[in-house]
């Protein structure tokens, strides 16, 4: 996972302070966890590509285009961001339909909420138990949600 936090550096540039970035990279697996921070003066895509050169695995990132160029990695999304988009769609639906609960976005919110409940239930278990429970409990919900999204995307 990669997060970025802007901050103003002490260097002045034509009467303004330059905005720089500190990026946090987090790696979690069953045995080890590591957090690295890297300072970069710009948001150029070369920085994460250089940092992640040779990395092969899953990348959980916010929609930063540069990360999509890390070809050896698989980009994975964030359910909190996805739920926020679905919620915005629900807010745009007609109020009568929204109150009746029959909008596609309302159904999507129910799927997201069901997944979030599973994650809350698994908060205190080991990574191995979480993996097994996700396969058992989350996979069917994801399959249904995927089918719904495909039907509404056509």
Under DSSP, is residue 97 helix (H, G, I), strand (E, B) or coil? helix
User: CB–CB of 107/148 below 8 Å?
Assistant: yes
Query: How many residues are present in the chain?
Result: 154
- 64 neighbors 48 (Cβ within 8 angstroms): yes
DSSP element (H, E) containing 139: helix 139-153
* pLDDT tens-place values along the chain, 154 residues long: 444 555 555 555 555 656 666 777 776 665 666 777 777 777 777 777 787 788 777 777 665 665 666 667 777 777 887 888 888 877 776 676 666 666 777 888 888 999 999 999 998 999 889 999 999 999 999 999 888 778 876 5
pTM of the model: 0.62
No. of H helices and E strands in the chain?
A: 6, 5
């Amino acid at each position: 996972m990669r997060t970025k936090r802007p901050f103003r550096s002490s260097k002045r540039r034509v009467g303004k302070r330059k905005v720089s970035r500190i990026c946090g990279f987090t790696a979690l697996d069953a045995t080890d966890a590591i957090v690295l921070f890297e300072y970069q003066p710009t948001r150029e895509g070369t920085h994460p590509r250089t940092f992640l050169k040779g990395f092969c695995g899953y990348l959980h990132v916010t929609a930063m285009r540069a990360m999509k160029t890390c070809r050896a990695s698989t980009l994975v999304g964030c359910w909190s961001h996805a739920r926020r988009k679905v919620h915005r769609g629900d807010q745009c639906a007609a109020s009568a339909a929204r109150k009746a609960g029959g909008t596609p976005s309302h159904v999507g919110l129910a799927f997201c909420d069901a997944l979030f409940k599973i994650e809350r239930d698994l908060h205190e278990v080991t990574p191995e138990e979480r993996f097994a429970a996700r396969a058992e409990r989350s996979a069917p919900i994801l399959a249904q949600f995927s089918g719904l999204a495909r039907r509404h995307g056509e």
